[in-house]
Amino acid sequence: MSDSLSNDYYGASNWTDRYYGSSAVYSVNASITGGTELANFRFSLGDTKSGGIADNTNMDRYDTRFVINMKPLNWLSFSAMVNANRILRDRNKNLRDRFAQINYLPDLSTPLTPNKAKYEAYLSQFNAAFDNNKTNSLNGYAKFGVDLGKFKFITTLATDYNEGYRDIFYPRTLLQTTNYASNYFGYNQRSTVQNVATYSYDINPDNKFDFTLGNEFQWDFFRYTYGYAYKGSNDFIKLNLLKSDPNKADYLLPDGVYKPQLVYKFLDKTRNNQTSFYGKVDYSYKAKVNLSVLLRADASSNQQPTSRWFYSPVVTAGWDLKREFLPTASSISELKIQGSIGRMGRYENFDNYAQGPQYTAFIGYTGNLITPGYDGLGTLTRPYTAGYVPYNLKWAYTDQASLGLDGSFLNNRLYLSLLGYYKHDKNMLLGVPSAAEYGYTSIIQNGMAVRNTGIDATVISGVIMPAWYLLFGNSVVIMPSVAVLQKYVGHSTPRKVIIAVMRTKII
């Protein structure tokens, strides 16, 4: 940079002419809908392209959805939905992001020049590189419903699958004679079965009960494979470091293209199976007082066998002060007091604590957690630095309580809310120092607790109200369509109802 005659550094600083540009942004959607009240469907397709104006970044999203609803009998209904989408990304060529990805910093004593020609020469090196990044997701459900008046039953089967993939290669011209390759593939899937039965029982118009019984089965599975390597034999051989068949003898081997000491592999998977049963009773008195009691039992495979189940009680109550004491107060639109108290279980997200004392692959080089060896033989070791996992670990849980006052005034133009809360997390796991002669740095035990208390205050004010509201206030009747409107009022439609329909259309 000492040569002031060099146009690379002392010439025009016009790199932004190449960095910024224009890009198309569009969305194309198509759908078809048909059917009657007894059976109907909807199918849609869509494509959204969001191009960035900088660094040639881009994102394409493809969507498809199919929904069907059927009612073969008056008391039986069925509905199903399938939704799938794919996202493709063209990532930026930012130096910071690339260095963070490769965990390697080349010589930065000579930075990139601000000259457009030199910047284009730098970008041309990416012609031999690639960064393929895509995300796929698929979810859907099937629901069966039985409606026998006061008794209702719904069962739902649902699944959710998401996967991410990224394949990267940078040639040696970008990293000072050191090329780089990495492959990542990870996915998570969840399947659930839910059953809910409800029954309504009215003692009289003032006293009403709603009973609910339900259970849920849930299966979660998470897995990823990730590997990266440096100094391939040349820039013309690109390979997937993570082969798809783990039964082959050369699974995860670098095949001689990359030096074994410069290949790093990370694989992990975890699963959690959970089941829940619950019962709930809701009581209402004159629509003024509401009381709800919930009892719930949860079991998780991520908890140890000696403490597989957790039982949670929750009680909530509400009192409509407006209906009780101020039914004629026009300036008060709503005034309620409500509170709740209960206990909620917190299962562990990872399955290693459910195994109790264990061996693990926890010795390697340069932070790479690979299976260690001793005298040429593969071995396992105890997790001395991660901590000893004993038996009889219990569920972590949270005790919660809240008491709040909600009110709206002046025809809902002013809303006030005041909420006091108490939250105490208990029995969380932590590492407790252990005797040095056992070799472990700590022992995992229940005992960590965190307590939060506070008051939340909310004020919302609508200073300017729509003209239709100032004219008619709460007397406006909202109708979903013109056909329903005519059925409701005939051909002589009041002016206030017409304005309500116009408002519905605008929304």
Concatenated DSSP letters of 219-261? EEEEEEEEEEEE-BS-TT----SS-S-TTSTTTT--TTTB-GG
Structure tokens at 372: 């260690």
Q: Specify the pLDDT at position 249.
A: 65
- pLDDT tens for 229-249 read 998 888 888 777 776 666 776
Percentage of the chain modeled with pLDDT above 70: 84
DSSP letter assigned to residue 490: T
pLDDT confidence band for 360 (50 / 70 / 90): low
Residue 76 pLDDT exceeds 50: yes
Mean pLDDT confidence for 475-487: 46
Which backbone phi and psi does 438 adopt, to 5 degrees?
A: -85, -15
Residue 503 pLDDT exceeds 50: no
pLDDT confidence band for 377 (50 / 70 / 90): low
Rounded to whole angstroms, the Cα distance separating 449 from 430 reads 10
Lowest mean pLDDT among 132-136, 175-179, 337-341: 175-179
AA identity, residue 456? D
Q: Cβ(417)–Cβ(461) under 8 Å? A: no
Q: Cβ(419)–Cβ(456) under 8 Å? A: yes
Q: Measured on CA atoms in the order 105, 106, 111, 116, is the torsion positive or negative?
A: negative
Q: Specify the pLDDT at position 438.
A: 80
Which backbone phi and psi does 24 adopt, to 5 degrees?
A: -80, 140
Q: Specify the pLDDT at position 373.
A: 60
**Three-state secondary structure call for residue 506:** helix
Half-sphere exposure (CA, 13 Å, Cβ side) for 25?
8
Rounded to whole angstroms, the Cα distance separating 282 from 200 reads 9
Q: Cβ(391)–Cβ(306) under 8 Å? A: yes
Q: Specify the pLDDT at position 245.
A: 67
Q: Specify the pLDDT at position 251.
A: 61
Q: Specify the pLDDT at position 98.
A: 85
Residue 296 pLDDT exceeds 90: yes
Note if the pTM is more than 0.75.
yes
Q: Specify the pLDDT at position 463.
A: 62
Residue 43 pLDDT exceeds 70: yes
Mean pLDDT confidence for 160-186: 92
- pLDDT tens for 440-451 read 889 999 999 999
Other C-beta atoms lying within 10 Å of the C-beta of residue 4: 7
Rounded to whole angstroms, the Cα distance separating 83 from 88 reads 17
Residue 45 pLDDT exceeds 60: yes
Q: Specify the pLDDT at position 7.
A: 75
Rounded to whole angstroms, the Cα distance separating 315 from 282 reads 10
Query: Who has greater pLDDT, 240 or 123?
Result: 123
Rounded to whole angstroms, the Cα distance separating 171 from 483 reads 66
Rounded to whole angstroms, the Cα distance separating 363 from 384 reads 10
Lowest mean pLDDT among 36-45, 71-80, 173-182, 418-427: 173-182
Lowest mean pLDDT among 121-125, 224-228, 269-273, 370-374: 370-374
Beta strands in 303-461, from DSSP E residues, in sequence order: 309-320, 332-346, 373-374, 377-378, 396-409, 414-433, 442-461
The structural domains of the chain, with segments of one domain joined by +, span 331-464, 467-507
Residue 382 pLDDT exceeds 90: no
- pLDDT tens for 267-293 read 888 899 999 999 999 999 998 999 999
Residue 141 pLDDT exceeds 70: yes
Beta strands in 7-126, from DSSP E residues, in sequence order: 25-35, 39-51, 58-73, 76-90
Rounded to whole angstroms, the Cα distance separating 69 from 288 reads 36
Q: Specify the pLDDT at position 473.
A: 52
Q: Specify the pLDDT at position 5.
A: 75
Residue 1 pLDDT exceeds 90: no
Residues contacting residue 5 through CB under 8 Å, at least 6 positions apart: none
Percentage of the chain modeled with pLDDT above 90: 50
Mean pLDDT confidence for 63-84: 96
Mean pLDDT (the chain, rounded): 84
Q: Specify the pLDDT at position 365.
A: 44
Mean pLDDT confidence for 371-400: 79
Residue 87 pLDDT exceeds 90: yes
